Chains A and B, each alone.
Chain A
Amino acid sequence: MANDPLLSIKRLSVQLPEGGDRTLALRDVSIDVARNEIVCVVGESGSGKSMTASTVMGLLPPSVRVAAGTVELDGQNLLKLKPEQMRKVRGPRIGMIFQEPMTALNPLQRIGTQISEMFQLHSKMSRAAQKAKAIELLQAVHIPDPAKAYTAYPHELSGGQRQRAMIAMAMALDPDLLIADEPTTALDVTTQAQILKLIRELQQRNGTGVLFITHDFGVVADIADRVVVLKHGNVVEQGTGAEVLGNPQHDYTRSLIDAVPRMEPPAYTPPPTDKKALQVKDLVKTFGSAGLFGNGRVVHALRSVSFDLPKGRTLGIVGESGSGKSTMARALVRLTDPDSGKVLLDDLDFTALSRPELRQKAGLVQMVFQDPYASLNPRRKVGDLIAQPMTVHGKPRAEAMERVEELLKLVGLDAKAMDRFPHEFSGGQRQRIGIARALALDPKILVADEAVSALDVSIQAQVLQLFRRLRDELGLSMVFITHDLRVTAQVCDEVAVMKEGEVVEYGPTARIFADPQHDYTRLLLSSAPGHLGLKGATPLADAPAV
């Protein structure tokens, strides 16, 4: 029995409703998960990896049905179970962690109540025992001050703590199998590293089998015992972590691995000119106020931040959520007005412009937004969206449309895209549309606020490539704001590392990666997923767990 897999998915095919992009979400998928093993299911969005998790949990939407195959947990076919039998499997036998802990937790219930609920539903423990066990679990997931977290509401915890609470819930009944669906995608890198370490630790302690779903081969390198690569619902490759990462057989696997940004920035070259495209001087921004009775909350988003951006160069601003990097981005384009300090473009004081003047000078600095879904008005056609910046500034529509065609070509899209709506495009394509719109006014400076964070790693690589090409072809100066150091290694000449509203380290990318001075920079570098496994030199099996 010991050699039998814990979870055995055999030749599973799942049928999508008619009119989908394909008929089968999963085709002949076979995956085994043994006890005490982490199996990573990797693929891009739409590859069917989440569908796999939903099938195992019996949470498929009604319009989708299993066409063939079995899902066996310890020899029991889960697909044949009645709903009430399945409820006894979820929780005690299979635990699940979701991507977004804020939406997976009930915002109106205390963390402790939500964990105790697991015991209420599946055991006959007394209330006191439930509480003791829940606090013990919170301790096991290393939440600081578990007793306090027990009485806290989800919004009172940080993103990482919420995910820890979710893990505590999933592990509450000591399940044999844990399904983790992109559990770290919504988290900062340092938190991600901690959560991955926690999952590994709990899995080893309890001998749990883990089905870990991710799109990021960096994460795979850190955590996987075995890897299954999915593409369009087909398993294209599977093997041990070392095999798949070290010697990928399938082209698709290779392309996914190659897409993971390497932590190796190019050698530093000094800027060709002394001219500055942008100078930021002592920028300060504080949100909130002390309140009438001193009970308000004050957030120092920017505490006197200064840096320069030489012409034609790219500066990366790196930090975690709450570091002030987004406020920085917004202040650069004047979506937020700083309390004090200056943003100088050549000799123009950008911070001193009045609103009408700002509308006149809109062409100087443009921004590419994070969310390719929210940053385009869903009711306008792509051609209109890209032409808009020009028509707003009085360019005749016919002329603007000609320019739209050029711009679409420039960002690698077909001119036919003009007559379609944003929702007809994929995330990567929409981000290209967003870039085309930002370029419509021929800006000198482009600010990219987490412009590739919402994209799959492989698409990320393509969009980063586009940014590099545009910078070289158009002589743009760029400010690249990101939480991901791997991204800065790809495009940035210089990096400013921000923490709690301050720049803690600032210098050439190559130097910062090779010789970080500040502790925080070192922490960020060591937290980046895959920084050990993917360099190629270290065989994964020997790499210490991060």
Chain B
Amino acid sequence: MTDAAVTVATETPLRRRKRPRAVFISGIAMLALIALAALTAGLFWPAGPWVAAGEPYTPPMTAPGLPLGTDVLGRDVAAMLAYGARVSMLIGIASTLAAAILGIVIGATAGYARGWVDDALMRFTEVFQTIPSFMFVIVLVVIFTPTIATITLAIAVVSWPPVARLVRAEFLSLSSREFVQSCRLIGMHPARIVFAEILPNCFSSVIVVSSVMVATAVLVEAGLSFLGLGDPNTASWGGMVANGKAVIRSSPYLSIIPGFAIFVLVLCINVVGEGLNDRLNPRMRN
């Protein structure tokens, strides 16, 4: 046992150092805060984000009850931010979940079946990988009318290939391991081998990749809204930046506040993703 410990431990100085735990924890705390704001938006602003709450162009910290000021039409920026967080997080999580499931099914099938099934599925995956993803999302959203559901779906459709390739690679290496052969030998059904035996062993890497995908999805959604391709019936951060763009000289805060919100959310997701990687990835764990 000691022999093995030596070989592993000698690699330590060459590895990237783990990020401090405090950063990981504060990332999670910040995410929780944003999620809380999103969930409780209805309690603080029961009338929704669209109602006029004061004079248009009220700067932040000047009017009582309007900590972040109002926009072009006198709507409360804080309310829009909170409602926008809903959209960002919902689309980020839902599209990643959908993409992860699709990726896992395709990757697992390809990696376990091998042969022509693998070839066919991987060529199919490459088709999706070669199309510039943001363009593809725009095309999909324009074809279907932009709603939260179609945007989620469109983002999922472009983001599953990395998951599929990762899962396939994991399956290729895991399915030649002896414990998988041993399951074949005891007469276990292939579906059960795939889902109950191999899949749990590659969950940690899927989670790590997915966390980064959530961040990308948030950015894509913001980009769509900025281009005016978001769901017109919901407040969204990207849309807020786009609306503020026209008055950026007189009221820069209208663009800066939602832009900063996007930045913080994406940063937190990335920090948490890195933290998960440090903790779940067996190669990083001591």
Residues of chain A whose beta carbon lies under 8 Å from any beta carbon of chain B: 16, 21, 25, 45-48, 50-51, 54, 59-64, 333, 335, 358-363, 366-367, 369-371, 374-379, 388-389, 392-393, 426, 434, 437, 440-441
A63 to B286, CA, bound (A): 11
What's the nearest-Cβ distance from chain B to residue A342, in Å? 20
Q: Are B187 and A393 in contact (CB under 8 A)?
A: yes
Q: Are B178 and A374 in contact (CB under 8 A)?
A: yes
What's the nearest-Cβ distance from chain B to residue A337, in Å? 12
The stretch of B4-12, B50-58, B94-102, B256-264 that contacts the partner chain: B4-12
Q: Are B182 and A62 in contact (CB under 8 A)?
A: no
Contacts of B189 in A (CB 8 A): 359, 392
A487 to B272, CA, bound (A): 52
Q: Are B1 and A335 in contact (CB under 8 A)?
A: no
A360 to B6, CA, bound (A): 45
Q: In residues 147-174 of chain B, which contact A (Cβ within 8 Å)?
A: none
Report the interface size class on chain B. 20 to 34
Closest 9 CB pairs of A and B: A362-B187, A61-B9, A375-B178, A389-B186, A359-B187, A369-B178, A50-B3, A377-B179, A374-B178
Flag B1-32 by CB within 8 Å of A: 1 or 0 each. Answer: 11101100110110000000000000000000
Q: List 5 A-B contacts (CB under 8 A).
A: A50-B6, A61-B5, A359-B188, A366-B186, A379-B200
Select B182's contact among A16, A363, A369, beta carbons within 8 Å: A369
Q: Are B185 and A392 in contact (CB under 8 A)?
A: no
Chain B interface, DSSP helix/strand/loop, else mixed = helix
Contacts of A374 in B (CB 8 A): 177-179
Contacts of B6 in A (CB 8 A): 50-51, 54, 60-61, 64
- Given contact pairs A46-B2, A392-B192, A437-B186, a sample of 19 additional A-B residue pairs in the complex whose CB atoms are under 8 Å apart: A45-B3, A47-B2, A54-B6, A62-B9, A62-B12, A63-B12, A333-B185, A361-B187, A367-B182, A369-B178, A369-B182, A374-B178, A375-B177, A375-B179, A375-B181, A377-B183, A378-B201, A392-B187, A437-B182
Q: A25 and B182 in contact (CB under 8 A), knowing A61-B10, A62-B13, A64-B9?
A: no
Least CB separation from A232: chain B residue: B2
Contacts of B186 in A (CB 8 A): 362, 366, 388-389, 392-393, 437, 440-441
Least CB separation from A54: chain B residue: B6
Least CB separation from A449: chain B residue: B178
Q: A335 and B184 in contact (CB under 8 A), knowing A46-B3, A62-B12, A377-B201?
A: yes
What's the nearest-Cβ distance from chain A to residue B282, in Å? 9
Q: A50 and B187 in contact (CB under 8 A), knowing A61-B9, A371-B178?
A: no
Q: Are B2 and A379 in contact (CB under 8 A)?
A: no
A47 to B184, CA, bound (A): 37
Q: Is B274 among interface residues, defined by CB-CB distance under 8 A?
A: no
Least CB separation from A393: chain B residue: B187
Least CB separation from B186: chain A residue: A389
Q: Is B118 among interface residues, defined by CB-CB distance under 8 A?
A: no
A214 to B184, CA, bound (A): 36
What's the nearest-Cβ distance from chain A to residue B193, in Å? 10
Contacts of A333 in B (CB 8 A): 185
A140 to B221, CA, bound (A): 67
Q: Are B187 and A367 in contact (CB under 8 A)?
A: no
Q: A61 and B12 in contact (CB under 8 A), knowing A25-B2, A335-B184, A335-B185?
A: yes
Q: Are A21 and B1 in contact (CB under 8 A)?
A: yes
What's the nearest-Cβ distance from chain B to residue A333, in Å? 6
A60 to B1, CA, bound (A): 15
A21 to B5, CA, bound (A): 12
Q: A51 and B2 in contact (CB under 8 A), knowing A367-B182, A375-B178?
A: yes
What's the nearest-Cβ distance from chain B to residue A468, in Å? 23
Select A46's contact among B1, B187, B192, beta carbons within 8 Å: B1
Q: Are A63 and B9 in contact (CB under 8 A)?
A: yes
A530 to B181, CA, bound (A): 35
A379 to B188, CA, bound (A): 17
A335 to B187, CA, bound (A): 11
Q: Are B181 and A369 in contact (CB under 8 A)?
A: yes
A434 to B178, CA, bound (A): 11
Contacts of A62 in B (CB 8 A): 9, 12-13
Least CB separation from A233: chain B residue: B2
Contacts of B13 in A (CB 8 A): 62
Contacts of B184 in A (CB 8 A): 335
Q: A377 and B197 in contact (CB under 8 A), knowing A62-B13, A441-B186?
A: yes
Q: Are A358 and B178 in contact (CB under 8 A)?
A: no
Select B185's contact among A60, A362, A377, beta carbons within 8 Å: A362
A59 to B3, CA, bound (A): 13
Q: Are A358 and B179 in contact (CB under 8 A)?
A: no
Contacts of A61 in B (CB 8 A): 5-6, 9-10, 12
Least CB separation from B197: chain A residue: A377
A322 to B136, CA, bound (A): 50
Q: A48 and B187 in contact (CB under 8 A), knowing A369-B181, A370-B178, A377-B201?
A: no
Q: Are A426 and B3 in contact (CB under 8 A)?
A: no
Select A388's contact among B5, B9, B183, B200, beta carbons within 8 Å: B183
Select A379's contact among B181, B185, B201, beta carbons within 8 Å: B201
What's the nearest-Cβ distance from chain A to residue B86, in Å? 36
Least CB separation from B13: chain A residue: A62
A371 to B178, CA, bound (A): 8
A33 to B101, CA, bound (A): 61
A371 to B176, CA, bound (A): 13
Least CB separation from A422: chain B residue: B179
A38 to B10, CA, bound (A): 27
What's the nearest-Cβ distance from chain B to residue A367, in Å? 6
